[in-house]
Chain A
C-alpha cells in the first residue's frame, strides 16, 4: 500500500497570505496525484489532478506541482473561502489512498 503523508497537519495563516501544503508518497506515484478541498459539513471537491492540472472551475490562485514522491499545493493569496481541509490522493495503484489532510485555519 502506498502511504501518503501530508504536512503540516495544521497551518495558521492570515487572509491574503500565500500558503504551501506538502504531500509525500511512500513510493513513486508518477504524476497520478489529486488534491481535494473540504469545507465543514460539505463533501470534498477536486482542485487539482495529474499533480498540476486545475479542475474545471477552480480559481487560478490554486496550483499544484511535483512528481514521483514529493508534491505541493500552493494557494497564492488566501481568501476567506479557502480556510478548509485539504487532502491529497494517489491514483497510481490499488488501494487508492489519501493523505491524512492539512487544516488551513485563520491566524
Chain B
C-alpha cells in the first residue's frame, strides 16, 4: 500500500521559514509527479505546488510563488517544500499527494495525513 508521511510542520512567526518533508514508500517514487495541497482551518482545498517526475518541472500557485520551493530527492524517496517569508495566511494543514498517472496533468491519489503549519506571533 502506498504510504505518504509528512513532517516538519509547527508554529513559526511571520517572516520565518520552515521546510516540510514527505516520505514516500511502497511505490516507484521516481516515476510519479508529486504535489503539495493545503487546507486552511475550516476551509477548502488549495493546490500549492507540483513537481514532475522526469525533468523536475515545477508549478506554483500565485499565492506562494517566489516564497515556496518544491523539490524532490529520488534517492531518498522524499518530497520537500521549503517555505520562506511565511505569512499568517499560510496557516494550514499541508498534504502531500501523489500524481495518479504519468503526464502533465493529473489528479491526486493517494494523499498523506498532513502536517499542520501555524504562522502566528
Contact = CB atoms under 8 A, between A and B. Distances in A.
Interface stretch (B10-18, B44-52, B79-87): B44-52
If over half of A's interface residues share one DSSP class (helix, strand or loop), that class is named, otherwise mixed; here it is loop
Interface of B: 35, 44-47, 50, 59, 61-62, 95, 100, 105-114
Given A43-B114, A45-B110, A91-B107, A98 B46 contact: yes
B47 A97 contact: yes
A100 B44 contact: yes
B10 to A, nearest CB: 19
Contact of B111 (A44, A91, A99, A100): A44
A42 B44 CA distance: 13
B50 A96 contact: yes
25 contacts: A34-B107, A36-B108, A43-B110, A44-B45, A44-B108, A44-B111, A45-B111, A46-B108, A46-B110, A49-B100, A49-B107, A49-B109, A87-B45, A91-B105, A91-B106, A94-B105, A95-B59, A95-B61, A96-B35, A96-B50, A97-B47, A98-B45, A98-B46, A99-B44, A101-B45
Nearest to B107: A34
A53 to B, nearest CB: 10
Interface string A23-41: 0000000001010101000
